[in-house]
């Protein structure tokens, strides 16, 4: 008996020592620390392992400095010229872009053609056609490429273009890489294609970087066309999974707004491979043509930055709202600062509406969506649950004029752990497209009410409680 008591005492002392060390490492995020404390004390045999698996800062003293500088500075060093914000013809837009630049946005440009996609089929038809028509190079970084007909179609195109002698580079995150079409990747590499896996898990298991996933979905083709997306490559993204109809968002860009996306890819590629991509006219050539009329800026974020520009972008969109603020988010578990900004917007008389899924993609995130809804609905934020299928779109549209489309969710993972990229657009015409798409989606939603939450709380109180314990991890 004494042996067992001594063993338990040793575990308790070890947990206290470990919690003290963790408290020093997690001092900037008390909520996350409390969550870890729950697991370490509640599961003394597993808590330490749990922290090694999902922990972030207690044993990460270097914050990934070698990831590289931001895209603006890298472009400057390479003599890549962006448009001058002072030339923005709309005075209100100019002021907004200047604030976004100060908040971390890069690569302002005018006169872009930007096409909005709200479903997968036309988006994939266009990106496949653009890749087939490529003459110089194709650069892709995506979170997921599935082992199905969509993934195989992509690899077939990339392999064929590599055989033609094009420079083809592909970066895929390792978290879902085990589901890739393996034989097709071997053929792609044999054809001359270049390929890298972002943060391979088996190499990073005892490093906090295993949690830093590359969640971007960016394509850069011939220096002329770029895509920024919420869609990955897989049949589910065209509505052929158990989730059914897939509602997502993406944009296709022509114009000088593609340049900072190309620099973004180069930064990520060089971080992972150590191999430099030349910043020359072959890869980055400004056009004097005016393919469209939209002004845009690229906003990227990641754990290598002390202040995440993605959070700053979302806060700016919320705080500038005067009449309407419409948000799509599959994972809506925002920071306290974002929640306070939403509550303030309602107080100003802004019509704030949020569309979230009605089916569970990730169970902890699903119930945290519901838990967060309770707090914000009490302040006047209106929630709508999408019933046509699954909504994976990550968008914000403010006053039918200022918009964000990209890969970043409103959750701790996107904000604290993952590398993300959005496009910020200021345009009454494009904003109206996004506004109308949101209203169309409302026809396939029902409004979630405080009364419905109280019913959920009675029937699913344990799930909500457990979800709360995971709130700062997902």
Which residues does the annotation mark as catalytic?
215, 217, 222, 392, 394, 399
Which tokens go with 335?
């920071």
Phi, psi of 421 (to 5 degrees): -145, 130
Q: Are strands 395-398 and 324-328 parallel, antiparallel or unpaired?
A: antiparallel
Cβ distance 403 to 434 under 8 Å?
yes
H-assigned helices in 378-427: 412
Cβ distance 326 to 401 under 8 Å?
no
State the sign of the Cα–Cα–Cα–Cα dihedral 267, 271, 277, 280: positive
DSSP characters over 101-166: HHTT-EEEEEEEEEEEESSHHHHHHHHHHHHHT-SSEEEEEES-B-SSHHHHHHHHHHHHHHHTT-
Among candidate residues 203, 224, 236, the one with its CA nearest the CA of residue 330: 236
What DSSP designation does 208 have?
G
Residue appearing with tokens 């005075």 = 91
Cα diameter, the chain: 82
Cβ partners under 8 Å of residue 20, min gap 6:
none
DSSP characters over 266-331: HHHHHHHH--PPP-STTT-----S----EEEEEEEE-TTSSS-HHHHHHHHHHHT-SSEEEEE-SS
Cβ distance 76 to 267 under 8 Å?
no
H-run or E-run covering 196: strand 194-198
State the sign of the Cα–Cα–Cα–Cα dihedral 302, 401, 118, 326: positive
């Amino acid at each position: 008996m004494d042996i067992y008591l001594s063993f338990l005492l040793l575990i308790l002392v070890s947990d206290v020592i470990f919690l003290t060390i963790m408290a020093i490492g997690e001092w900037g995020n008390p909520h996350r620390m409390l969550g870890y404390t729950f697991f370490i004390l509640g599961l003394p045999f597993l808590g330490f392992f749990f922290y090694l698996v999902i922990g972030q800062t207690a044993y990460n003293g270097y914050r990934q400095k070698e990831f590289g500088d931001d895209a603006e500075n890298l472009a400057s060093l390479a003599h890549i010229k962006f448009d001058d914000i002072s030339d923005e013809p709309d005075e209100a837009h100019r002021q907004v872009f200047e604030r976004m630049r100060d908040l971390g946005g890069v690569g302002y440009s005018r006169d872009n053609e930007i096409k909005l996609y709200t479903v997968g089929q036309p988006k994939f038809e266009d990106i496949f056609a653009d890749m087939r028509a490529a003459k110089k190079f194709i650069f892709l970084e995506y979170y997921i490429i599935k082992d199905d007909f969509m993934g195989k179609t992509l690899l077939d195109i990339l392999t064929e273009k590599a055989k033609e002698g094009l420079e083809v580079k592909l970066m895929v995150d390792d978290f879902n890489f085990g589901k890739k079409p393996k034989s097709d990747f071997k053929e792609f590499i044999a054809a001359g294609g270049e390929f890298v896996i972002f943060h391979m898990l088996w190499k990073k298991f005892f490093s906090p970087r295993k949690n830093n996933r590359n969640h971007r979905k960016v394509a850069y083709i011939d220096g002329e066309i770029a895509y920024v997306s919420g869609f990955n490559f897989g049949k589910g993204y065209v509505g052929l999974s158990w989730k059914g109809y897939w509602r997502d968002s993406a944009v296709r860009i022509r114009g000088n707004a593609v340049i900072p996306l190309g620099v973004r890819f180069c930064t990520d590629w060089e971080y992972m491979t150590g191999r430099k991509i030349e910043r020359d006219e072959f890869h980055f050539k400004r056009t004097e043509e005016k393919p469209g009329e939209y002004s845009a800026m690229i906003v990227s974020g990641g754990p290598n930055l002390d202040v995440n520009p993605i959070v700053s972008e979302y806060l700016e969109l919320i705080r500038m709202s005067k009449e309407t603020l419409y948000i799509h988010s599959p994972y809506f578990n925002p920071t306290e600062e974002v929640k306070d900004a939403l509550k303030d917007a309602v107080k100003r008389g802004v019509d704030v509406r949020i569309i979230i899924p009605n089916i569970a993609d990730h169970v902890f995130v699903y119930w945290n969506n519901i838990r967060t809804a309770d707090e914000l609905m009490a302040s006047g934020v209106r929630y709508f649950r999408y019933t046509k299928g699954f909504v994976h779109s990550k968008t914000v549209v403010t006053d039918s004029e200022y918009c964000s489309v990209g890969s970043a969710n409103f959750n701790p993972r996107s904000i604290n752990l993952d590398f993300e990229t959005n496009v910020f657009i200021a345009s009454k015409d494009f904003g109206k497209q996004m506004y109308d798409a949101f209203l169309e989606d409302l026809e396939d939603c029902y409004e979630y009410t405080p009364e419905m939450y109280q019913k959920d709380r009675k029937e699913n109180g344990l799930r909500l409680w457990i979800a709360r314990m995971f709130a700062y991890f997902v």
